[in-house]
Structure 1
């Protein structure tokens, strides 16, 4: 856990381990790296099962901590009690319940459904109304502190309703069997629409009705007689506002950036590994990471004719620079980038030129926590504002290469060894454009 694909990897490993635990005769549930099992075996038999489980994990190169023969357990956000057959909400002792303020800069639908969502979660985690009332006091106080006036109330529990209706369902099981089969058969032929979501950030200071204008534009650009109307219409395109970064995160990130810059100034980190320092493309700072860079071509006989290229790399700039040099030198990589294509064009026409490099800005690549890639967004910003002559406008519509790279790494790890692509290019998936 904690890596870019930690949750997905944990679920895959968990499913594999669950398949090996099937023969132990116990009911096992798993959420990420937390598991829970229940059985009616004797304490001695439970200890034997515990040793077998430890052996299975050990054979797979994993360690596990097991607490056996417990009647009351805290699992995720629920406390389960086998002695009384009840369950109740659970939170860690030092956890502080926090809610957004009633007048916060959030989409109205989020603030409106905040209390309702809290009620539903607490009700589902409470076996009865008495347990709910005991747990709700903490949450009511937190809601009141943040300007929410409505009090939480118990809304019932679907699981208890299901248990109450088990007998009636059993009596009618034979009668309803045929109708259920027909319904299942019919449902199997129903195809769901592929929905594409547009998530503009919400801000109360913006007076423009973004949603209305977006759908008006959608109807104008893709009318019923348009060839793409079947896949781009109001039924397949939906809008939902996203939240802006909160003030606490903005301040925290700002402080981190300042402290990190001071640490870099005081550190002895190597910034250049060029053998001949005078030939460093960035004047002794070629080992910078996560940068937006610019390449400038000036023809010696026509100094007024300047070509510019904007690029990004998550890796060291020196690694990306060596890839560019390789595309300038090897004919089969001539069309790797629009920059290499332009260099080859000048060389074939025997025109002398000078090539210079500079860092435009540094930023963070795709993060699995924020689901954003500031590096790719920054590149698009510079393409729009600087209008480089060697960059195509269609790249503004391209997807994030760093997000795709993380998905590729997970798929690569799960694929058979024979399907793994052999490559010596450490940045090939990351930042090498495809016919850009």
Structure 2
């Protein structure tokens, strides 16, 4: 991966030599309100922090539609330019995708690195990728992102190992660049097909067991819940896309075995080519018998997150699978919602009303827990056990199981 993709100096694994100073930019248009844009920018700031950049300022502009050349209007661009120069900013992040032409014009005008939401997410995915499959998927997504932007970008490609490289001396025509990228995309797709076949064989070998997949928005606590339910350590931290490779564990409760998988989190405005590239990883979700939809109940936009996840699940054609909705971080919900002066009875009444509303809004069964505090975990296990047994009875109707 070339330096042009990197945020936060990710040259060494797990280390960032310096935190880059960034400003982030969003547009209020007919398609997204000011409230929505501010929510998106909060998320973009978290994405930037995950990639190793500190957000110094947010710029928001109301326009009918983005400027075809500079994305923002002329006056706003001048405002950003002055701020960048006066505050030693070295990175400007836009909340929506930019064309290659826009990126080139903005880099020339602002004299700093320009990153859009998709390339920022790709950057995080690249830094998180551990396995050959994940690395190949990320590189494919990078190439697919780059392909339509070749004409507008002010840098080109050359044949370098490891994927995207900065252009060396000597000019190459745009069609040559396109051929290189097309060939690379074809090569990566073939590589992924081979990996996918190996994965299918592995899944077939464990086909007798009921499969349960943890799904949800990024950073909702899936990995923490995985650790709690499987009693085995899975990497968990307060960062976006901490889990990129699917983790599968064989779990035995009493005498009942099943497979539990922790999958990559979803996010609003997830680049289409990224979803496409990660199809083989998401096959784990497609082939699951039960979905556990984990929700960050403490997040102010948790219902928007549910919509985003459900849309992705619908795209994967798995929305109708048996699903348990797990509202995690109940402790955080209480902390964010309840005034200290409220008595316990009033708090419980408020919580009860919220629970009833959510049960009426979504057709799936649900439970409210705190994975970190182990609150209501036994009840979660009971609900999940019942669902797993039902699936075993459907699969093996004439076999008597001891559980």
TM normalised by structure 1 equals 0.25
Q: TM-score, normalised by structure 2?
A: 0.26
Determine which structure has greater relative contact order: mean sequence separation of CA pairs < 8 Å that are 6+ residues apart, divided by chain length: 2
Larger Rg: 1
